[in-house]
Structures are given as structure tokens and as C-alpha cells.
Structure 1
Amino acid sequence: MREEPEQRIERTAINVWRTHGLITAIILLILVGAVFAVSYWFEWPYWISAIGLGVTLVIAIIHLGLIPPIRWRRWRYQLYDQEIYIQHGIIIVKRTLVPMIRVQHVDTKQGPILKKFNLSTLQVSTAATTHSIPALTVKEAERLRDQISILARVDQDDI
């Protein structure tokens, strides 16, 4: 079995994931507010809204405080001449080897939250699926994209 990959994604990924968690928490709070309004209108017991608020607060604490740093510590990748090694997961750690010979194309992706933090996601597509390496600097994602493209092309020429 291979050693753990050495390369890490950017530490600011923690802030990206916390931003996603905050957006989720706000949406859940809006839904809890709607349940509260409906329970007031139809004179339902208020404990229904209280349970919704409690569950929302627990979810927010987990997604804003606990998960992002653990997720960042687990995310690693390594680029070799013949394959890409990706490791991620919080409870179940998934290790994936993507052979260069299977790579069909490589993309970089940047949404509004990643753009705010000057980060990008690298996506490696094979015939079966797409593998992603999130939260790389834009420069690093472009460098890896170009390097993987060259390595995949060389492997295709070897066939």
C-alpha cells in the first residue's frame, strides 16, 4: 500500500466550507421561522419550532466549527507520472488512484465562494466518473491541469 499523499489543499478551504455551512444554517433558520409562523397561525404547540431551532443550532455548530478543520486535515493529493492519488473523508477515509491512461479531460472550476477566496477546484474526468481536488489556488489548479493533461497525453501515446 502506498504512503499517504503529501500535497494538501489550501488551508483557506476551511473558510470556504464554513461559508457553505453558514449559508445552509441561514436557510434552515428561515425554514424554522416559517414553521414558527405556521404554528402561530394554526395555534400548534411551540415545542415543534423549538425542536427545529435546536436541531438547526446543532447542525450549524457541527458544520461551522467541527467538520471543516477535520475535513481539511484529511484532504490530500499527490501527482505521479502514471497516476493521481487522492485521499479524503472524515469518518471513512477514501483513497483513490486515478491512472493517467484513464484520464479523458481535466478542468478547473470556480464558483462565487471559491472566487472570493481566490481558489479553484480541479476536476479530472475518466470514462466512469469525475474526481475533484477542491480548494487549490488558481495558479496551482492551472499548473496541475496542464501537467495532468501532458502526462495523460504521453500515456495515451504509449498505447
Structure 2
Amino acid sequence: MAQLSKRISERAVSVWRIYALIRFTIFLLVYIIVCFLLMKFDGPKWVVFLLAVLFLADLFLFVLLWPRWRWQRWRYDVREQEIEIEHGVWIIKRTLIPMSRVQHVDLKQGPLLKKYKLASITIFTAATVHEIPALDEQEAEKLRHVISAFVKVDDRDV
């Protein structure tokens, strides 16, 4: 099996860490409320300890490690006849999208991606939607045009 050559931007790690911190902050608020209620109503102290351990494990795994692992395993390749995407940390998913199935391509950029000068490409087929996340803005725009050109060439071949 050939190794895919292109990677998403390494700045994706920072963006994914910020998203994880937002989720982590929500988890922290729930943790504080649960601990407060347990203390107020004389709940078991071991539950507070267990929640603290889960809280710290979540911080370590999903904020510090997971975004880096996710970035290291993201690969894609765009060829004239197909788009190949590979991603996943523990379970690797490889997807091959024939250009003949591509209906349209969107470029997506939320406020956080914009701050880091990143954008995501969304590829629509009749069956599903695929995304190549966190590309450099210029690379994303170029890739959108390349895929669109390949799709138009493929349409003329039909």
C-alpha cells in the first residue's frame, strides 16, 4: 500500500487543542457542580476523587496528546482520477473518492481557523460528505480549484 504524501497544517494541533480546552472547560464546570452537590448532600468522597482522576486524565489525553496524534496520522492525496484520505488514531480509516462521484467542493473557515490562517475543504458526493481539515488558506483554495478542475475534466469524459 502506497504511503500518502500530503499532510494538513501543523497549526491544526493548536486549533484542536483550543477546541479540546473549550470542551474541557465545560467538563470542569460540570465537575465543580457535581462536587459541590456531593459535598452539600454528604455524598461519597470517593466519587469526587474518581471524578478528579477522570478530569486530569481527560486533560492529559484529549488536550495534550490527542491533537498531536490526530495531526500525525492525517494524510491526503488528490490525483486526477481520485482523492484519497487517511486519518484515525487507533482505527485508521482510508477513503478513496472517485472524481466522477464528486458533486461539489466547499471551503470552510470558522473564526478559530481564520485566526490561524487555516481552512477546511469539504467534498460532497451523492452518498456522503468528506472533509480535509486545517489546510493553509492558500493550499485549501488551490486544492478546491484543482479538485473542481479535475471534476470538470471528468464530466467531459462521460
Q: Per-residue deviation at 1:37?
A: 1.5
Aligned to 2:86: 87
Alpha carbons 1:124, 1:131 under 8 Å: kept: yes
Stretches of structure 2 lacking an aligned partner (at least 5 in a row) = none
Aligned to 1:60: 59
Matched, 1:32 2:27: no
Q: Per-residue deviation at 1:120?
A: 0.7
1:121 partner amino acid: S
1:1-159 superposed matches below 5 A:
1=1, 3-159=2-158
Aligned-partner SS, 2:142 = helix
Q: Per-residue deviation at 1:150?
A: 1.2
Take 1:81 and 1:129, find their aligned partners in 2: how far apart are those partners?
Answer: 20
Give deviations 1:72-101, integer Å, cap 9, x for gaps.
111111110111111111111111111000
Take 2:34 and 2:93, find their aligned partners in 1: how far apart are those partners?
Answer: 38
2:69 partner amino acid: I
1:84 partner amino acid: I
Structural RMSD (CA)? 1.1
Q: Per-residue deviation at 1:45?
A: 2.2
TM-score scaled by structure 2? 0.95
Q: How many residues align?
A: 158
Take 1:82 and 1:145, find their aligned partners in 2: how far apart are those partners?
Answer: 15
Take 2:30 and 2:53, find their aligned partners in 1: how far apart are those partners?
Answer: 13
Take 1:114 and 1:33, find their aligned partners in 2: how far apart are those partners?
Answer: 30
Give the share of equivalent positions with the same residue, in percent: 44
Give deviations 1:104-159, integer Å, cap 9, x for gaps.
01001112221221111100000011111011011111111111111111111211
Q: Which runs of 4+ in 1 moved over 3 A?
A: none
Alpha carbons 1:36, 1:46 under 8 Å: kept: no
Stretches of structure 1 lacking an aligned partner (at least 5 in a row) = none
TM-score scaled by structure 1? 0.94
Alpha carbons 1:119, 1:137 under 8 Å: kept: yes
